[in-house]
Amino acid sequence: MASIDLTHVKKVYPGNVTAIHGVDLSIADGEMVVLVGPSGCGKSTLLRMIAGLETVSEGTISIAGDVVNQKEPAERDIAMVFQNYALYPHMSVRQNLEYGLKNRGTPADEIRSRVAEAARILEITPFLDRRPRQLSGGQRQRVAMGRAIVRKPKAFLFDEPLSNLDAKLRGQMRIEIRRLQRSLRTTSVYVTHDQLEAMTLADRLVVMNGGLVEQIGTPTDVYDRPATLFVAGFIGSPPMNLIPLTSMQGDLAAFNLPQGTDIVGIRPDKFTLERPSEPSLRLEANVELLEPVGGESHLHVGLKDSGETLVISIPGRPEIADATEIAIYAPASALHPFSAQTGRRTDSL
């Protein structure tokens, strides 16, 4: 167990392509940090740099206080779980689990007891003598995690470990990974492009875009106070409505929006169809589409005048016909002010 510190880490590929533009991040001992962002944002590269599979162009990475820039992955004492599991196909599950320990010269009886324990925790004991080919996706995923935990490494690195599983299994495994990480208290870095996975797994969330860190914070912080327009649009499903001030009618002066604000973000679930008791923003809109998704419904509306489309999620299944005119309300406290120019929040933290 250990902390991981990244100080101004940069990655420049040959041909002057910069993949990571300087990232500072401190991961505390036992913490689970999730790197999330769209594909190509550099999150996997960053993880692979921590693992030692990619070189660091600038800056330092230290694990438990030691700078590891020049160390081989094995010397860093980390374990990695890959998206395609990367199990050794010609070895049995048991041999897969043992391999890393054998290479480290762990005594045979300790290997046996650690493998037995990992197999018990992950409930893969019945498959120990099978080949990976004979296992299902979920079982392979467990083996891949087993291979990480038998080593008792300083840190776990997860590279989109659940994206090859079907939706139901993904949900199950997500909970298991969380439970496992909680009980082992091993420092973990987890990469995903799935914001739901990120929200539910993370102690702290690192939202990345274009090789830059957009925001670091607890999932609720990031959700409640997105620091940039990108984060606002990326976290949350359906995503936050980002409405240019120019396309809103009505009196906005009353809301005391900070200097420089020209975009207002409002989460879909903050809208109501009745005027709330607190001060609120009133917008007039045309219903374009009603999407019932079960417990709630998503209402796609176009703002009157500007035609700007918003998504509103309301509980239950309201009876609203398409093309009717309605008024929607959002409480003042639900407005997130942003500046389109800087892309950042204007009511600075």
Partner 1 sequence: MVENRPFLTFLTHLVLIAGVVIVVFPVYLAFIASTHAPGNFVSGLVPLLPGPHLIENYSTIWNEGLSSSGAPPIWVMMLNSLVMAIAIAVGKIVISLLSAYAIVYFKFPLRLLAFWIIFITLMLPVEVRIIPTFKVVADLGMLNSYQGLILPLIASATATFLFRQFFLTVPDELMEAARVDGAGPMKFFRDILLPLSRTNIAALFVILFIYGWVQYMWPLLVTNDSRYYTVVMGIKRLAASADTEPLWHLVMAAVILAMLPPVLVVIFMQRLFVKGLVETEK
Encoded one letter per residue, x for contact with partner 1 by CB under 8 A and - for no contact, window 278-317 reads ----------------------------------------
Q: Which is nearer to partner 1, 96 or 195 (CB)?
A: 96
Check binding of 164 to partner 1 (CB under 8 A).
Answer: no
Q: Name, in order, each residue with C-beta under 8 angstroms of 229's C-beta and a sequence gap of 6 or more.
A: 242, 263, 265, 338, 340, 343, 344
Q: How far, in Å, are 177, 180, 233 from residue 87 at the CA level?
A: 18, 20, 36
Q: How far is the CB of 86 from partner 1 (least distance, A)?
A: 4
The binder of partner 1 chosen from 27, 80, 180, 303 (CB under 8 A): 80
Q: Please report, as a single letter, which amino acid is at residue 90.
A: H
How far apart are alpha carbons 197 and 159 in whole angstroms?
A: 13
Q: Beta strands 32-36 and 204-209: pairing type?
A: parallel
Query: Which stretches of the chain are assigned E, i.e. beta strand?
Result: 4-13, 17-27, 32-36, 58-63, 66-67, 78-81, 155-159, 187-192, 204-209, 212-217, 241-244, 263-266, 280-292, 296-303, 309-315, 325-331, 336-338
Which letter does DSSP use for residue 31 in this model? -
Q: How far is the CB of 58 from partner 1 (least distance, A)?
A: 21
Check binding of 73 to partner 1 (CB under 8 A).
Answer: yes
Check binding of 154 to partner 1 (CB under 8 A).
Answer: no
Only segment of 47-55, 57-65, 113-121, 275-283 that touches partner 1 (CB under 8 A): 47-55
Q: How many CB atoms lie within 10 A of CB 339?
A: 17
Which letter does DSSP use for residue 51 in this model? H
Q: How far is the CB of 104 from partner 1 (least distance, A)?
A: 6
Q: Is 78 helix (H, G, I), strand (E, B) or coil?
A: strand
Q: Which is nearer to partner 1, 147 or 300 (CB)?
A: 147
3-state secondary structure string, 103-142?
A: HCCCCHHHHHHHHHHHHHHHCCHHHCCCCHHHCCHHHHHH
Q: How far is the CB of 93 from partner 1 (least distance, A)?
A: 14
Check binding of 147 to partner 1 (CB under 8 A).
Answer: yes
Q: How far is the CB of 102 from partner 1 (least distance, A)?
A: 9
Only segment of 46-54, 122-130, 233-241, 285-293 that touches partner 1 (CB under 8 A): 46-54
The binder of partner 1 chosen from 28, 67, 74, 254 (CB under 8 A): 74
How far apart are alpha carbons 175 and 245 in whole angstroms?
A: 41
Q: How far is the CB of 153 from partner 1 (least distance, A)?
A: 9
**Helix and strand numbers, DSSP H then E, in the chain:** 9, 17
Check binding of 13 to partner 1 (CB under 8 A).
Answer: no
Q: Which is nearer to partner 1, 81 or 310 (CB)?
A: 81
Q: Which is nearer to partner 1, 16 or 103 (CB)?
A: 103
Encoded one letter per residue, x for contact with partner 1 by CB under 8 A and - for no contact, window 82-121 reads xxx-xxxxx--------xx--xx-----------------
Q: How far is the CB of 31 from partner 1 (least distance, A)?
A: 21
Only segment of 18-26, 69-77, 262-270, 307-315 that touches partner 1 (CB under 8 A): 69-77
How far apart are alpha carbons 303 and 283 in whole angstroms?
A: 7
Q: How many CB atoms lie within 10 A of CB 342?
A: 11
Q: Which is nearer to partner 1, 47 or 229 (CB)?
A: 47
Check binding of 8 to partner 1 (CB under 8 A).
Answer: no
The binder of partner 1 chosen from 4, 9, 23, 51 (CB under 8 A): 51
What residues line the site for partner 1 (CB under 8 A)?
Answer: 51-53, 72-74, 78-80, 82-84, 86-90, 99-100, 103-104, 133, 147
